[in-house]
Copies of this chain bind each other. A is one copy, B any other.
Amino acid sequence: MSQQLQESLFQELEQLVLIDPHTHINPLSAASTTLADVMGYHYYTELAHSAGLPKDCIEGPGVSPKEKVGQVVTKLADLDNTIQVSWLLEICKEFFDFESDHITPDNWEALYDRAEQKMAQPDWEQQVLKQSKLEKVFLTNDFDDPLAGFDTNLYIPCLRTDDLVFKFAEKSVRERLGAATKVDVTNIDSLKEAIGVLFQHFKANGVRACAISLPPTFSPAEVSGEDVEKAVRRACKGKSLDDEQQRLLSQHIFWQIAEYCAVFELPFDLMIGVNRQVYPTGVYQGQDLFDMRVSLFQYRELFNAFPTVTFPVSVLGQTSNQELVSYAWIFPNVVTNGHWWYSNIPAYIEADTRSRLEAAPRSKQIGYYSDMYKLEFALPKFRMYRRVLARVLANEFVIARGWSETRALDLGRQVLRGNVERIFNV
């Protein structure tokens, strides 16, 4: 009974047209042009490297896109158990008429060529959007992104603030800020002015959220006083900062951004828990990990200080999920947001989805985002989520609580789409 019911709910959820509330799409090159754009996704390069493929084979200076794919293919047999590779197969079957369950040294070249042909079609991007039932796609824009040359109604700007908060002491970041804002940043006041210019620019171009990823050690706090002013001035002059000064600088800028989120009425996506470059010699984007010893308790001052700012929160560690459920249950401005990265596998999605749906207001749950770099990934990733969601709705709502299928589907549609529209004011 459960099996049939899951399938029935899944088929209904598959009909829903989506807004993807968090991606890394480049709107000027949203779809893939070769299979290397798909298989060059860090999920495959890092897993192939983890399974023994030397980094040089993937990122060496003379490695062509096609060669890179050929190299990764040599390791796929060691990875075909992973859900990540199941996304790849689903892409190849859905978009490139691939019929095997395995991409092998014997069949990958034909697949590569077939994909290249299809991707060369002038409306490929539109085909992918349509077949994936994608109506709108959130971006993650650098703070100095001109936001020009694309339809911001389809590709919705989101202001990414990692560089400002954690890399302001780097000369290149300050130069980018100066170029983007024409403000000569020398102290707290001019820094505030410059960040305000960024917000105005983004607001004028339809921004719907601010976003940042945060290490497990970070604790937002309102800091002030001479030590903070000095840290900012030193950073502006390119002078070195000690750890304490860097902490104050990051806390100050973060708080400043939160204040602008209040002023400009923007949700502030917090992606909590990533340690950067834990494996510094790993492949591109395959170097970051985490430390589960982190708590949303570190964010209590922030959540209390900005009652009008909505914080869609993603946690990297599955062990943080219960805190997220509980903080969303108590704080009006905390919202659960998707299943991030190392937690984005069915085992964790299922456990986390169940607990969220059982304990937090249905209006405060953003079910899923793809986090994709290329459009082709929305289909298999959202499909994975829809399957898991259908399982939870079937087992825990229809069977265990006696809900009708209609009622369960309404809940599913709300977390998949309705809440995205309302929370981000799309």
Contacts and interface: CB of A to CB of B under 8 A. Distances in A.
Contacts of A78: 361-364
A304 interface: yes
A369 to B, nearest CB: 19
Contact of A330 (B279, B330, B354): B279
Contact of A297 (B275, B358, B362): B275
B319 A292 contact: yes
A56 B302 CA distance: 22
B290 A326 contact: yes
Contact of A357 (B52, B81, B303): B81
A32 to B, nearest CB: 23
A328 interface: yes
A317 interface: yes
Given A319-B319, A401-B86, A295 B291 contact: yes
Interface string A343-362: 10111100100110111111
A185 to B, nearest CB: 34
A51 B364 contact: yes
A325 to B, nearest CB: 7
A323 B1 contact: no
A289 interface: yes
Nearest to A353: B347
A257 to B, nearest CB: 22
A406 to B, nearest CB: 12
A415 to B, nearest CB: 9
Interface string A312-344: 000001111011011111111000000000110
B351 A347 contact: yes
A278 B50 CA distance: 37
A81 B347 contact: no
A28 interface: no
Contacts of A346: 354, 358, 396, 400
Nearest to A319: B319
A397 B328 CA distance: 33
Contacts of A307: 281
